[in-house]
């Protein structure tokens, strides 16, 4: 099973924007949809800053992570089975937190 962590996604987005920039100080947000309603789970990632660094979209049913520039141009597609947060939460293959809404936004380190 191939996995990728939130930190690895963040690093790919930041390094694509500027290879000399450290991803450590950047903030990344993750938006989750579908997992709590039984639908196809989708996660949207955004590394914010001035300027923003890029975006990612993981579609669980297709095992596909797509990374985009801030202008919406795709620069990498990665086949993965699971995205693992690394913050004590299961990846998208399991749901550990039930939300009353079908949408969760999570602020990451």
pLDDT in tens for each of the 109 residues of the chain? 788 988 899 999 998 988 888 877 788 888 887 655 566 788 899 988 778 889 999 988 888 999 999 899 999 999 998 888 754 443 333 333 333 334 455 555 5
Give the model's pLDDT for residue 38: 60
Does the pTM of the predicted model rise above 0.95?
no
Q: Is the distance from CB of 96 to CB of 90 less than 8 angstroms?
A: yes
Residue 18 tokens read as: 């500027």
Give the model's pLDDT for residue 73: 92
Task: Say how many CA atoms lie within 13 Å of 11 toward its Cβ.
Answer: 6
Alpha carbon dihedral 48, 73, 91, 38, in 10-degree steps, equals 110
**Cα–Cα distance for residue pair 49/18, rounded to 1 Å:** 13
Sign of the C-alpha dihedral computed for residues 29, 53, 22 and 84 taken in this order = positive
Residue showing tokens 């913050």: 87
Give the model's pLDDT for residue 91: 37
Give the model's pLDDT for residue 36: 57
Give the model's pLDDT for residue 89: 42
């Amino acid at each position: 099973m191939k996995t990728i962590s939130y930190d690895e996604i963040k690093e790919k987005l930041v390094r694509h924007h500027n290879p000399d920039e450290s991803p450590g100080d950047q903030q990344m947000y993750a938006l989750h949809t579908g997992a709590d309603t039984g639908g196809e789970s989708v996660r949207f990632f955004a590394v914010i800053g001035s300027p923003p660094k890029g975006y990612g979209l993981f579609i669980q049913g297709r095992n596909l992570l797509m990374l985009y520039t801030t202008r919406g141009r795709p620069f990498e597609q990665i086949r993965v089975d699971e995205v693992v947060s690394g913050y004590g939460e299961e990846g998208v293959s399991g749901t550990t937190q039930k939300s009353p809404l079908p949408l969760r936004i999570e602020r990451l380190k």
